[in-house]
Structure 1
Amino acid sequence: MTELTQSQTWNELKAHTKDLPHMRVLFEQDKLRFDTMSTSACGLFLDYSKNRANQETLSLLFKLAEETKLASKIKAMFDGDVINTTEKRAVLHTALRAKPEQKIILDGINIVEEVQQTQAKMATFVTAITSGSWKGYTGKSITDIVSIGIGGSFLGPKIVSQALRPYWNKDLNCHFVGNVDGTSITEKLKPLDAETTLFIMSSKSFSTQETLTNTLSAKDWFISNGASQADIAQHFVAVTTNVAKATEFGIDADNIFPMWDWVGGRYSLWSAIGLPIALMIGMDNFRELLDGAHEMDKHFANTPLSENMPVIMGLFSLLYGNFHNAQSHVVLTYDHYLRGLPAYFQQLDMESNGKSVTLDGTRVDFSTGPVIWGGEGTNGQHAYHQLLHQGTALIPADFIMPLKSHNPLGEHHIQLASNCFGQTQALMQGRSYEEALVELEGCDLSIDEKSTIAKHKEMQGNKPSNTILMDKLTPGTLGSLIALYEHRTFVQGAIWDINSFDQWGVELGKSLGNDVLTRLGAEKDASELDCSSNGLINMFRQQSI
């Protein structure tokens, strides 16, 4: 058994959660529950009153956080301690949004100065593109950006750019390629003009298989449409640490933006990986995005645990996974621009906390990261919300909505809000059998028929949710929101004593994929593999002949 599950507080929580009444009762017992179980920070409002918790629950959760030294672990991250122990790295994505006057020393170097230099280089580049002074090889201005990456280098820029569509430069379009499936890049390139297209290749090593393959295909397309090798310098830029490979490819050294080992891919959108975002929304708005995240960093680092928004959210997620057997967590966005956030938070949480050993290698005896999924309201209400309301699994939910729309159209936004708030209410209170019977009064049905239908209409309720509101979706509030989920993820990993910053499962898939690639190309025999892998490889070979 791990030290965590043997602790007195852990076992007190286990016993306490079994005795809590239905949330309906909790609301009846505490008329001020909304006031005492809500908080504001960094342009965000969090209502956490619709959770299976009372003040004793919260006290036990905060006690667990204190006993697992959460506060000191938060400080260690911000101080640049080597908390990614398996890769012997600091974790300093927070430095990417630090203020210029701050000092964060790593290996004797103030890395804030390096970050500021990179941001200045980004600003110069963004101005050159958006002003039209940067010309393509035929003298035309750039109209389309193609961002090529994988994982965080793909998903972060894509989701954030999508979310901030109202702030886009109207003279530019941006297209994102991550999947190595040839159809993806083929379809993206079909409507584009090589004379006016800029490619951004994001790969720390400049050798990530999917990214390099897509970039080589982009290069072939570019040259086949009339350009030369020499013209690559005007149409390809890179975010990488491997300057030699990038320049060998044909990218001008002045158009190579740095990356650092102390930034993981899923935390990298704040760096030069965010260059597509900066191009689309402008550098001032990009800095506002950074500022929003920085404000949440300060809140997380300096606010007492009991008032700390990421801590509160992280503790509730832990509560359901470890004490209520919740295997998944749904994120529901009531804003069309935020429709991609569930996928972004999915990578953030599942790649970080999908672990099964503690820092010292001990096998865990508790659930770690849940499955994160979701979609946009109100579409989900007519699909998977049925499972949320009446399914047998407990699935905690986060509802996210701006109070003001970028597109105020008739009754649309008030209807959207009514659906959002109505869903949280329905999940909490449910509908009793007796209430269902009352609703059926006056129907032309027999008593037995009413009884049967009432059983189908009954909903247990007591389904937990958080509601996150913001005045309006802006670069600043989006930055705060993403940083909130980053730190929420950290809180869970810190209490579980796991490494939230490596991803050896991802690395295994990469290495085995590379091995299979050599066998698919008949460079290596596949017979030594398991019979399934051997059979699949042989089927592919036969169809490729």
Structure 2
Amino acid sequence: MINFHDLHTLKSFQALKTLPIPSVADNFTAIHVEEQNIDAGGGLTYNYSAKGVNEELLEALQALADEQQVIDKYELLLSGEMMNTGEKRKVLHHLTRAQQANDVIHEGTNLRQFYHHEQKRIAEFAQRIHTGEITGSTDKKITTVVQVGIGGSDLGPRALYLALQNLYLNKLEAKFISNVDPDDATAIIESCDLERTLFILVSKSGTTQETLANQNFVLQAAKKQNILHYDVMKHMVCVTSQTSPLAKDDRYLASFFIDDFIGGRYSSTSAVGGVILSLAFGAEVFEELLIGAAEADSQAREQSITENAALLDALLGVYERNIKNYAATAILPYSQALSRFPAHLQQLDMESNGKSVNRDGQAISYATGPVLFGEPGTNGQHSFYQLLHQGSDVIPLQFIGFTHSQCGVDYDYEASSSQKKLNANLIAQIAAFALGHTNNENMNKNFEGGRPASLIYAQQLTARALGALLAHYENKVMFQGFIWNLNSFDQEGVQLGKVLANDILHGNASSTVNQLFQIIQ
């Protein structure tokens, strides 16, 4: 029988609280660097040698995972159990890549076939666009694709596109409109040749205010250009659920579907990411991303935490949040291609586990999801690393690095290449955070050290590695939700702001709120 318990009620958590906290510096040794590695799927490896982990702590964390039945709950989710208690829904984003992994079994065979069918439709559509079989309404070949969406319909797909554009041939240039700020849409539309541009409208519900406003912005801007024989609806496809109002609108060039069991922030491996990535790079590149994600999902089913990178990452995060009382985590990719990946993880993590009630809606007494932020190295070193090194708050660090660059273009300067300098900086930062530096003559140059860091690394940032990286963090967030006994799959805090904004626009807000609104008009 699977039980759902709050963290503070677990015997294993109470035992964890009594353990001495291991020293990060003392445990950062050559032996641990060699031994404390876990295969994370997709060619990725998770190294936790700078986390301050000893055998006693590993045993305690394993006991916590076992008592909270974390892997059993993952299997329950995969079997199609209703795990989104707030919205009374299943959670099925793993199924979007399930057909890639033979050991992923799901009772919802029809849904698995549904996702497979949609991916096949997307691949065929992309191929017809690439070959010119489908052209714009004025018979010109499509060269640009613009995704119109917000939140999970933008952050994940945008991060993935930027991560891959250096390595794979761009069949179409991709751009994104997300913010309801009219300057966002104006800048993108003015940069496009509308006769050669395809728009993808993405809204699962078909009612997202910002997205529908931006669709209207595109329609009006296109009308204003008054292009002979141009029909903007023949340049627009939609990604939505089959029950949404958009699904019933046959003016779109094509419609691709997801279902209500996939949350926006978990939707990048569905049609939400699949359409734009397949159009931009080809369906075979998107397929590679799915394979990497499926490999990480498979690794995440391991019961042993020393064989399950996502689970150990999640447990160490809980340890740092609830035992060490660290309130934030920094995501530090040493790859410019991952420039928007931290922004995607902000939504994934903080929208999922930014909760103060458990999955039954009861108040909890312990800390949950941390604040996430990040920026690529080495840029971040010249920005916020000062606080990370010497600030009054200790912030755990998650580094991401690759042996080889994507472009393959590099030059030596002062006896080493730029890629080697990049990775030297990465390793130097991990060591500096862990070990610190003592300067008794000038305390301003004293570095306390003892600041924990992990490293996820691979040979190169390929589509397969990117898929595994995406799934690693999705599964980490899911596991932490299980440990904290949260529902990681709804986002009621987002809904309140939407309701209030609608009230303001229709004049139904309080006098105080209306007065505040007036001062910015």
2: CA distance, partners of 1:249 / 1:230: 19
1:22 maps to what in 2?
Answer: 23
Provide the identity percentage: 36
- The partner residue of 1:412 within 413, 418, 433 is 418
1:492 maps to what in 2?
Answer: 480
2:452 maps to what in 1?
Answer: 464
Contact 1:104 1:110 (C-alpha < 8 Å) held by counterparts: no
Evaluate the alpha carbon distance shift between residue 303 and residue 165 of structure 1 in structure 2; reply closer, same or farther with a 3 A threshold: farther
- The partner residue of 1:534 within 486, 507, 514 is 514
Equivalent residues in 2 for 1:430-469, closer than 5 Å: 430-432=436-438, 436-437=439-440, 451=441, 453=442, 455-469=443-457
2: CA distance, partners of 1:512 / 1:314: 34
1: CA distance, partners of 2:52 / 2:105: 42
Count matched residues.
Answer: 507
Deviation per residue, 1:379-410 (Å, 9 max, x gap): 11112111111111010001101111123411
* Greater RCO (Cα-Cα under 8 Å, separation 6 or more): 2
User: Any gaps of 5 or more consecutive residues in structure 1?
Assistant: 438-450
- The partner residue of 1:4 within 4, 7, 11 is 7
Once the two structures are overlaid, the 10-residue window that deviates more, 322-331 or 295-304, is: 295-304
Contact 1:257 1:272 (C-alpha < 8 Å) held by counterparts: yes
Contact 1:103 1:111 (C-alpha < 8 Å) held by counterparts: no
Contact 1:259 1:271 (C-alpha < 8 Å) held by counterparts: yes
Contact 2:38 2:309 (C-alpha < 8 Å) held by counterparts: yes
Q: Kindly name which structure, 1 or 2, has the bigger radius of gyration based on alpha carbons.
A: 1
Once the two structures are overlaid, the 10-residue window that deviates more, 296-305 or 416-425, is: 296-305
User: Any gaps of 5 or more consecutive residues in structure 2?
Assistant: 412-416
Evaluate the alpha carbon distance shift between residue 233 and residue 180 of structure 1 in structure 2; reply closer, same or farther with a 3 A threshold: closer
Q: CA deviation at 1:169?
A: 4.1
Q: Which runs of 4+ in 1 moved over 4 A?
A: 100-103, 227-230, 247-250
2: CA distance, partners of 1:244 / 1:419: 49
1:446 maps to what in 2?
Answer: none
TM-score, normalization: structure 2? Answer: 0.93
2:414 maps to what in 1?
Answer: none
Q: CA deviation at 1:99?
A: 1.4
Q: Is 1:73 the counterpart of 2:73 in the alignment?
A: yes
2: CA distance, partners of 1:151 / 1:9: 37
Evaluate the alpha carbon distance shift between residue 74 and residue 21 of structure 1 in structure 2; reply closer, same or farther with a 3 A threshold: closer
1:381 maps to what in 2?
Answer: 381
Aligned-partner SS, 1:32: helix
Aligned-partner SS, 1:175: strand
Contact 1:397 1:465 (C-alpha < 8 Å) held by counterparts: yes
Q: Which amino acid aligns with 2:23?
A: H
2: CA distance, partners of 1:136 / 1:287: 26
1:105 maps to what in 2?
Answer: 107
2:261 maps to what in 1?
Answer: 262
Equivalent residues in 2 for 1:52-63, closer than 5 Å: 52-63=52-63
Q: CA deviation at 1:88?
A: 1.1
Evaluate the alpha carbon distance shift between residue 240 and residue 46 of structure 1 in structure 2; reply closer, same or farther with a 3 A threshold: same
Evaluate the alpha carbon distance shift between residue 70 and residue 211 of structure 1 in structure 2; reply closer, same or farther with a 3 A threshold: same
Deviation per residue, 1:329-385 (Å, 9 max, x gap): 000010110111111111100000001111222211111000010000001111211
Equivalent residues in 2 for 1:144-293, closer than 5 Å: 144-227=144-227, 231-241=231-241, 245-246=245-246, 251-252=251-252, 255-274=254-273, 275-293=275-293
Q: CA deviation at 1:80?
A: 1.1
TM-score, normalization: structure 1? Answer: 0.89
1:442 maps to what in 2?
Answer: none
Q: CA deviation at 1:249?
A: 5.7
1: CA distance, partners of 2:477 / 2:244: 36
Aligned-partner SS, 1:287: helix
Equivalent residues in 2 for 1:397-408, closer than 5 Å: 397-407=397-407, 408=409
Contact 2:171 2:279 (C-alpha < 8 Å) held by counterparts: no
